[in-house]
Every structure is written in C-alpha cells, then in structure tokens.
C-alpha cells in the first residue's frame, strides 16, 4: 500500500520518499480526481458521470450514449470494469463493478464513461525532479489487450502520426506540471482510430503515479534506467545533472516490444483465467536484444495472493521505427 497517506507518514517520520509527493498521488491515483485535473488543464477527456446513491443510472448512461464503460475510480488491471451495451444490463453491471472494486481496491466507487469500441491505447512516460523540471520519455503503444488488461506493449508507438504524437507528449507534460509531479509517472490516452492524420481525436483516461509493468520498453529505447533515475531524483538530483533534460534525451533508439507471460488455465469454453501451482519448467529466452524480467525455476510454487504475471519478455531492435510496421 503506497497511498498518499502512507507517503505523508513516511515524510513526517523523516524518511526519504521515492516517488511523487502526496498531493500528486492524491490527484492522480484516483481516476475521477485525475479527470477533473485534466479538465482544468484543458486536456480532452471522455464524457463520464460518477455513480452515487443519487445517480439516475439510466439517464446518466443515456446522456453519455451506449455502449458505456463502468469503471472503478481506484482501479487498475481491468478490475472493476464492465462494458454495457444495453440499458437493461446497466444496474447489474454497476453492482458487480462496485463489488469487485471494493474487494480489490478497498474502494467501491465507480463511474460511467463513454466506451470507444476500438481505440488505440497510447501512454506517455514522464519524469520530473524536485525542482519542477519535467521531461517526457516518448510513448508506448498498449492497444493489444485481453479483458482490458495489457499483454503486449511497444515503444515508440508504430504508425502514429507525428503531429498526434506531439499533442500527446505536450498534454502529458502539461498535466504533470499541473500536478507538480516528480519521479516517474505515466499519462494514458485513447486515440480514436476513426480519424486520420493530425485531426484524430485524443482523450485522457487515467494517470499512474508510479512505474508501470511496461516501463521496460521505455528503458530499452532511451537507455535510461528509470529505477535509478527515481532514486537519484529522490536524493535531490536534477534532471540536468543526470543528463536527462529533453534535449539530452534525444530521440528513441529503435523499437522495443514487451510480452507478458502469465500463469493461466484454460476453461472448457476456451476462456482463460489466472492460475497458480508448481512450475515444472522455467527456461527464459536469451540472446542479443533479448531481456527477461521475471522469476521462476523448476519446482517453484507460485503465490496465489499476487498477480499471475510470471515474467516479461522484452526484445529490442535498433532499426528505425519508420521502417518497422505494425500490421
């Protein structure tokens, strides 16, 4: 648990906190408060309504327009989320999302949001120091998902119009500055694939006041150790002293792709669910341009209390991203 209250208590005890300040965690850790911050900054967001005991669900959903997404305010990893296509399914979906959110995150708050059937999911990595300096470390493509959880991540995003990329990084840095952010953080956006070129619509969806699972691909294309950078920043180092001002960051070095390796079991209907047990074999790949972040060995018994993610396999090529296509 690393909420803003935990951060504040550590600071009050005289400890050095590695990460964003309490106010930034409070503003960004909750999806609803983050959306309000984005609205104040003039960054586009999807229409949404917080669900309270007084909310007229049918009217709220009708105003947003079906299909709608029921979403946990404190959630992540696809938990506490439901897609609702028809009005008759709304109440049950909201109740189910509230139960899952309360069980998973200790907070049953959910909201309704406009659902885009097939957008691109692009996120921007930012880094800030204690002196108010901020940089972006380019973007990651996270559109390959299952059950609304990312399984493939790519940096930088392939086939993304340069003007759209610039709008995304500008918005992320603006939002980080609004939140007085420091350390590593991610701002996530949906990109409407029905548009084309610079006129495509973008919408902020959430911020993560922490390192994410997919930070590895950013490290590969920038050559920056984000964990080491966070520790140095917490110790008072500036981005400039670390050689991490925007000019020094430069441009992405090729492309990197990460695939998550999860422990799962196949159901009779063909669906999968997280699983655990004893590994009979664990043989990570190796070779030039291959990185594996994981843990396991033959005979290792997994802990059912944690996520089913076992390893992350990352591959990196120095090839120019313009010559690499995602089809």
Interacting residues of 88 by C-beta distance below 8 A, sequence separation 6+: none
162: which 2 tokens?
């340069």
Alpha carbons 290 and 311: distance in angstroms, whole number? 13
Q: Is the CB of residue 257 less than 8 Å from the CB of residue 217?
A: yes
Q: How far is CA 175 from CA 57, 178, 293, in A?
A: 30, 5, 30
Alpha carbons 40 and 177: distance in angstroms, whole number? 12
SS3 category, 278: strand
**Residue tagged active-site, from 82, 140, 167, 210:** 210
| C-alpha of 212 from chain center | 6
| C-alpha of 324 from chain center | 24
| C-alpha of 260 from chain center | 14
Q: Which candidate, 39, 40, 83, 33, places its Cα nearest to that of 61?
A: 83
In the residue annotation, 305 being an active-site residue is answered as: no
Alpha carbons 230 and 126: distance in angstroms, whole number? 11
Alpha carbons 100 and 197: distance in angstroms, whole number? 39
Adjacent-strand bridge partners of 174: none
Give all strands of the β-sheet with 81-84 in edge-to-edge order: 48-50, 110-114, 68-72, 81-84
Alpha carbons 139 and 186: distance in angstroms, whole number? 9
Handedness of CA 160, 166, 172, 173 (dihedral sign): positive
Report the catalytic residues: 210
């Amino acid at each position: 648990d690393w909420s803003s209250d935990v951060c504040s208590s550590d600071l009050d005890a005289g400890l050095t906190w590695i990460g964003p300040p309490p106010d930034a965690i409070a503003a960004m850790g909750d999806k609803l408060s983050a959306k309000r911050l984005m609205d104040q900054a003039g960054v586009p967001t999807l229409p949404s309504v917080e669900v309270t005991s007084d909310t007229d669900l049918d009217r709220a959903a009708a105003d947003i327009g079906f299909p709608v997404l029921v979403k946990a305010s404190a959630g992540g990893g696809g938990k506490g989320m439901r897609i609702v296509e028809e009005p008759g399914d709304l109440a049950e979906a909201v109740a189910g999302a509230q139960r899952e959110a309360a069980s998973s995150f200790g907070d049953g708050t959910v909201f309704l949001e406009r659902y885009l059937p097939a957008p691109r999911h692009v996120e921007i990595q930012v880094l800030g120091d204690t002196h108010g300096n901020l940089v972006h470390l380019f973007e990651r493509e996270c559109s390959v998902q299952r059950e609304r959880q990312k399984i493939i991540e790519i940096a930088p995003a392939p086939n993304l119009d340069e003007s759209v990329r610039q709008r995304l990084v500008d918005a992320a840095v603006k939002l980080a500055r609004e939140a007085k952010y420091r350390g590593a953080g991610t701002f996530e956006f949906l990109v409407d694939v029905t548009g084309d070129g610079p006129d495509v619509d973008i919408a902020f969806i959430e911020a993560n006041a922490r390192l994410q699972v997919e930070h590895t691909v950013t490290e590969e294309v920038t050559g920056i150790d984000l964990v080491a950078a966070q520790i140095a920043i917490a110790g008072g180092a500036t981005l400039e002293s670390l050689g991490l001002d925007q000019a020094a960051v430069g441009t992405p070095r090729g492309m990197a792709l990460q695939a998550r390796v999860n422990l799962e079991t196949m159901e009779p209907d063909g669906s999968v669910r997280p699983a655990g047990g004893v590994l009979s074999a664990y043989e990570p790949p190796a070779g030039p341009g291959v990185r594996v972040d994981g843990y396991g060995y033959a005979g290792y018994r997994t802990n059912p209390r944690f996520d089913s993610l076992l390893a992350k396999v990352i591959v990196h090529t120095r090839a120019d991203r313009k010559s690499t296509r995602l089809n």
